[in-house]
Amino acid sequence: MIEVDPRGTSQHCSNCLNRVPKELSDRWHCCYHCGLILDRDLNSAELIKKVGLGASPTQKRSTLLRREAVETRF
């Protein structure tokens, strides 16, 4: 587990980790990459949890899925 700086977490999707820019007035996270729709704060909380457990916002979901598949084989 690592400490996570929450700045900018609302600008990434907690599901696919792609950048989804939004204004401060936008209260809903709507990812046009994977279709995830969540309250903006809930999306940030999920992303902080995921990053705290080792994922990187620069690491796309396809990379994470490949890594998980390799890890589960062993």
Q: Which residues of 55-65 are buried (b: 16+ CB within 10 A; e: fewer)?
A: bebeeeeeebe
How far is C-alpha 2 from the geometric centre of its chain's CA atoms?
A: 15
Q: What angle do CA 56, 41, 21 make, to 5 degrees?
A: 60
Q: For position 60, what pLDDT does the model report?
A: 57
Backbone angles phi, psi at 34, to 5 degrees: -120, -10
Of residues 50 and 67, more confidence is placed in 50
Q: For position 58, what pLDDT does the model report?
A: 61
**Using only C-alpha atoms, what is the Rg of the chain?**
13
- Per-residue model confidence as pLDDT tens digits over 8-61: 899 999 999 999 999 999 999 999 999 999 999 999 999 999 988 887 766 555
